[in-house]
């Protein structure tokens, strides 16, 4: 069952947002994607976006007519203000506040403001994001409480009726693969393994069972552990 409503997926080209895109294509009749150029150290992430979109439309022909425009919003000014390990040459470590240095303060909030402004113009009501508070790296802007507050603020401030959907919020990384399996079987799992990109260092030379990456940065460790956990547990597919 699809709903006639339109959705805008916050789509980085990573594993989580790729699963969110599939989730949205499975249920909404019109789906657009938005990505952000905030001066990431690696454009690999932005290239992965095109590959994932194209392959999904190819492998799942019933999704193809639902997949609408892709938007890339320039947010380099924000990146310059909120500089951290993702946008500058700085080691990935824990800070005094107990947050990884990869945390970009306010990033998800800024992304959502831009996404909502775009959704307003495009006539899309649902914003879909891959935020997750289960295995998450301690990012306070991934919490559902934060997003509930953000949803209220956006609706008040834009006189809108947006809904922020976070299909991965309560899932572990292993569950996320089970959800991909439920949405598109092994074809979708393989497509996401091959074309999505999560490594903080932008490494794409070595193909590992769980995809490409350096294998040692926090994003790779999380991705590898989640994939291996999913295989080991033999978990049944999750239907969205």
Q: What angle do CA 72, 76, 77 make, to 5 degrees?
A: 130
Euclidean distance between the first and the last CA atom of the chain, given in angstroms as a whole number: 11
Binding flag, residue 220, Zn ion (CB under 5 A) = yes
Binding flag, residue 44, Zn ion (CB under 5 A) = no
Smallest gap from Cβ 41 to Zn ion, in A, equals 12
Helix axis angle, 218-233 to 173-195, nearest 10°: 110
Binding flag, residue 213, Zn ion (CB under 5 A) = yes
Q: Which is nearer to Zn ion, 85 or 128 (CB)?
A: 85
Smallest gap from Cβ 205 to Zn ion, in A, equals 11
Q: Which is nearer to Zn ion, 119 or 220 (CB)?
A: 220
Q: Which region, judged by CB under 5 A, interacts with Zn ion, from 90-98, 105-113, 148-156, 205-213?
A: 205-213
Contact with Zn ion (CB under 5 A) among 7, 164, 199, 222: 199
Q: Which is nearer to Zn ion, 27 or 195 (CB)?
A: 195
Q: Are strands 207-208 and 211-212 parallel, antiparallel or unpaired?
A: antiparallel
Q: Which region, judged by CB under 5 A, interacts with Zn ion, from 20-28, 123-131, 179-187, 206-214?
A: 206-214
Nearest to 9 by CA among 153, 107, 115: 115
Smallest gap from Cβ 90 to Zn ion, in A, equals 15
Contact with Zn ion (CB under 5 A) among 46, 92, 153, 214: 214
**How many residues line the site for Zn ion (CB under 5 A)?**
6
Q: Which region, judged by CB under 5 A, interacts with Zn ion, from 44-52, 57-65, 108-116, 210-218?
A: 210-218
CA dist., res. 112 & res. 135, Å (int)? 21
Binding flag, residue 86, Zn ion (CB under 5 A) = no
160 Cα distance to chain centroid: 23
Smallest gap from Cβ 220 to Zn ion, in A, equals 3
Using CB under 5 A, list all residues that contact Zn ion. 199, 201, 213-214, 217, 220
């Amino acid at each position: 069952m699809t709903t006639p409503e339109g959705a805008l997926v916050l789509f980085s080209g990573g594993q989580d947002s790729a699963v969110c895109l599939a989730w949205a294509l499975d249920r909404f009749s019109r789906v657009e994607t938005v990505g952000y150029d905030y001066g990431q150290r690696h454009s690999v992430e932005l290239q992965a976006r095109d590959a994932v979109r194209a392959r999904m439309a190819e492998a799942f022909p019933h999704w193809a007519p639902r997949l609408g425009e892709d938007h890339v919003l320039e947010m380099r000014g924000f990146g310059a203000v909120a500089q951290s390990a993702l946008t500058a040459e700085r080691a990935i470590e824990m800070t005094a506040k107990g947050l990884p240095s990869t945390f970009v303060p306010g990033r998800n909030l800024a992304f959502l403001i831009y996404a909502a402004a775009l959704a307003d113009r495009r006539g899309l009501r649902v914003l879909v994001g891959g935020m997750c508070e289960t295995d998450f790296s301690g990012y306070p802007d991934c919490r559902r409480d934060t997003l509930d507050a953000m949803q209220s603020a956006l609706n008040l401030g834009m006189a809108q009726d947006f809904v922020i959907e976070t299909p991965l919020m309560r899932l572990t990384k292993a569950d996320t693969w089970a959800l991909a399996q439920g949405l598109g079987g092994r074809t979708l799992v393989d497509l996401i393994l091959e074309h999505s990109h999560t490594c903080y260092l932008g490494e794409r030379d070595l193909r590992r069972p769980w995809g490409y990456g350096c294998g040692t940065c926090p994003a790779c460790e999380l991705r590898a552990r989640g994939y291996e956990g999913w295989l080991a547990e033999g978990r049944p597919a999750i239907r969205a």
